[in-house]
Chain A
């Protein structure tokens, strides 16, 4: 089901990620990606590293469109990857799209070099 141009990487059906949870996608030679499904049904993908001390964001509590890091409770925006509130820092985001019940990540953002 991937695009003819092959820009998007099909990572499987949306049903693999329950709303309010996240799952991980290791990339060989690159950064692990966390794919989030919010309680309101949206999907986001971020590098699975907190800008603070690399905490695995996939394991945090998801509320609204943010995740609270499991290590020291920074709140990270799933839309922008920015730390919210008084904390400063940003995690790279990966464009996601949903098509016919399947999840796609922008291929170049998954495997390409990434500004960290």
Chain B
């Protein structure tokens, strides 16, 4: 072997220290450049590189894949550079062993090199999810030029590509492959693309744009296996059973510091090779730099920190100590035409304040996060011009209290001294400056409508339409109100849906339809929500409004539902659940009673009770047992009673003409029919119905949301009753002659309530707010209206009249009913 040790060349020249570098990548070479810049003659340098080529700019592999650059364009150090600086480059020959005792490294080909100082810069390895099929030909990662060549070869043949991972790398791979003509599907486990850099709102905008460009983006997609045909990859199968054909599969799910060599050499290794502020490992003769290291607990996956590390390394080595203190990073996505920037910590926190600005018409979302008057994070989508300015404020930790108000509008606005007061800035606008782009309203028009008496935001919206559409100019209109009237004279308008928006419930419902908004993040973007992901008031409301507006199309968001509607049972004070199966119209049978009795015994339910809604409630069921309980009840033909839901609850009946000596009609039968028609429908609030067989009203129909009192000549229909906190007797809506008419009007009324009321508004306060005449008008002015409302109700029922218990009993959402694991400390300690 050609072992080289520290041999004096014999010509009298002092022997130089020998520096061996493992890793010819971005950090390794940069470190060498920094060292050469400080002390060009100190070291005799050998660089080992596993890749068979000179050092190149790895981040530019994306443009190479996209066809925007060639390999020659992205070379950082040519062969001449190595020669000129007397560096021996051993490429295509990875180091396989480090012997620290004698200060030697050994390469795969058997080459042995001695060192005085060793620098490890082995970068990261792409992480490969170990699903079946991950080793198949056609499954590639995205890390080096060979990977790019493999992707280009596949793209030459056309066909479909699946990219697993919707982070920075995955999306850049997807973009490149799409530009090369492949049909691309991106599978991302999380609901938001690039969730480490983007919040939900920006991730949604990005997803939309990529879909518009023809990529298929599946979020929440969990890969189960990679499929094979003829020894080559043929597709990907997801855990939910979906299969997507693929001629190539790119795994871009993350990276892991490449620490094997260091670990085997006995260096201290955590997540990465542990280094101090001068990049020295646990062995003073060994340095490490780049993605393979862990510094003060942090590992990095971007280049900017590497540059800082390399400077500190050189400084430490060449005795000008200036340590590395960690880096704040920022991200941009290298996909042409998509402007996206994120930096710092944008996860928010109690002590943080979010400032959000959205401009739906331009597709812009900006969010900055402030803590203690300092900017700590920023997410920008659509307009990233101020990215560097924010990043600078962030890195310098400057106090921003002076520009706080105008911060979100960007540098031009905030830096303008006097203009930092948004009111002053608005006051300075000329009269014909456009305030509301959607409705083309100028400043002069808004001001004159304010002086004419519109003293609240809402009044302005209804008189001149400014800020009535997308709402992005709400801030400007509020400023104009304050300037024109003085702060105190501005009247507050009707209550907004919640603190996250300046729109009311009615506005939101109307705009969902007008603008065809179909997802929660979309509503939040288009209507300029001031928080990134809403709150526990607006999320459930939006979820309901969307499912009511787009039956069949909208995908229910369980995370936006109160626990009872998520677990389809009522949570109790001790954290167990109560289970109420439907008993149609209060009727039951020996079979049902037996099934309930069996459940009570089998699951040791501590109590079973007759409810005020004419059915049985089983108490004390653990969330783990719910699916089994439901399976047993389903087997006896019973379905969910929605006793937990903002939904149709009970239809209470009395015995009626079949038995009762006073009964005028079959109230029990009609109640059952109505319940079969309406069960399963979600509403703004809970909804209760009753049918009494005569005016004695034993079913208490006049304190229900919809009540029927049977009389000899037909049916009196009552609405807006409430027996709860504030008792309200119903108003008579109308009288009809047949059961069919009673049912038609019942569902038309329900649908009107579903489409108009505010979330969490029962029919009683809704009726008082709108007036009985309004409701009568809506239902009866146009003879076709009852039919149309009924049609919409039936359409919705097509999708929603399903027993949610049955799915769970079959195993859907098992994770909601099971623990992650159990900890048994004693056994653990022994293990």
Contacts and interface: CB of A to CB of B under 8 A. Distances in A.
Q: Give the dominant DSSP class at B's interface.
A: loop
Given A28-B824, A59-B563, A39 B220 contact: no
A53 to B, nearest CB: 7
A49 to B, nearest CB: 9
Given A59-B563, A62-B559, A25 B819 contact: yes
A59 B127 CA distance: 33
Given A40-B200, A100-B256, A64 B825 contact: no
Interface stretch (B6-14, B344-352, B511-519, B591-599): B344-352
Nearest to B531: A64
Interface in A10-33: 11-12, 15-21, 23-30, 33
Interface in A62-100: 62-66, 68, 70-71, 73, 75, 77, 79-80, 82, 84, 99-100
B116 interface: no
Contacts of A25: 819-823
Which of B254, B347, B534, B560 has the most chain A CB atoms closer than 10 A to its own CB? B347
Contacts of A111: 823, 825, 828-829
Given A15-B222, A39-B191, A63-B536, A84 B256 contact: no
B492 to A, nearest CB: 21
Contacts of B256: 100
A15 B164 CA distance: 14
Contact of B533 (A26, A40, A53, A54): A40
Contacts of B828: 9, 111
Given A20-B559, A40-B195, A9 B536 contact: no
Interface string A27-57: 1111001010011111000000000011110
B567 interface: yes
Interface residues of A, number: 52
Nearest to B189: A15
A88 to B, nearest CB: 14
Nearest to B350: A77
Contact of B819 (A23, A61, A62, A65): A23
Given A11-B821, A111-B825, A39 B200 contact: yes
Nearest to A105: B823
B347 A56 contact: no
Contact of B820 (A16, A42, A63, A79): A16
B532 A64 contact: yes
B350 A12 contact: no
Given A19-B190, A42-B347, A61-B559, A24 B819 contact: yes
A12 B564 CA distance: 27
Given A20-B191, A60-B563, A64-B348, A29 B825 contact: yes
Contact of B567 (A16, A18, A59, A101): A59
Given A26-B823, A28-B825, A61 B575 contact: no
Contacts of A21: 558-559, 815-816
Contacts of B819: 23-26
B122 interface: no
B260 to A, nearest CB: 14
Contact of A19 (B191, B349, B562): B191
Contacts of A12: 820-821
A109 to B, nearest CB: 11
Given A15-B222, A61-B539, A39 B559 contact: yes
Contacts of A26: 819, 822-823
B472 interface: no
B575 A56 contact: yes
A105 to B, nearest CB: 9
Contacts of A61: 536, 539-540, 559-563
B195 A65 contact: no
A39 B533 contact: yes
B127 to A, nearest CB: 7
Interface in A96-116: 99-101, 110-111
Contacts of A101: 127, 254
B802 interface: no
Interface in B486-539: 531-536, 539
B449 to A, nearest CB: 36
Interface in B545-570: 558-564, 566-567
Contacts of B824: 28
A58 B561 CA distance: 13
Contacts of B200: 39-40
A79 B191 contact: no
Nearest to B560: A61
A63 B533 contact: yes
Which of B532, B822, B823, B828 has the most chain A CB atoms closer than 10 A to its own CB? B823
B573 interface: yes
Contacts of B534: 63
B823 A27 contact: yes
B192 interface: yes
Contacts of A55: 573, 575
B133 to A, nearest CB: 18
B271 interface: yes
Contacts of B190: 19, 41
A35 B815 CA distance: 13
Interface string B740-774: 00000000000000000000000000000000000
Q: Lowest 7 CB-CB distances: which A-B pairs, in order?
A: A20-B559, A68-B536, A111-B825, A59-B563, A41-B195, A70-B563, A56-B575
Given A12-B820, A33-B823, A56-B575, 10 more contacts: A15-B189, A30-B825, A40-B199, A41-B195, A54-B575, A61-B559, A63-B533, A63-B539, A70-B564, A73-B536
Interface of B: 127, 189-192, 195-196, 199-200, 220, 222, 254, 256, 271, 346-350, 531-536, 539-540, 558-564, 566-567, 571, 573, 575, 815-816, 818-826, 828-829
28 contacts: A9-B823, A11-B820, A15-B189, A17-B815, A18-B559, A19-B192, A19-B195, A21-B559, A24-B819, A25-B819, A26-B819, A26-B822, A27-B822, A28-B822, A28-B823, A29-B825, A39-B533, A40-B346, A40-B532, A41-B190, A55-B575, A61-B563, A63-B534, A64-B531, A84-B350, A100-B127, A101-B254, A111-B828
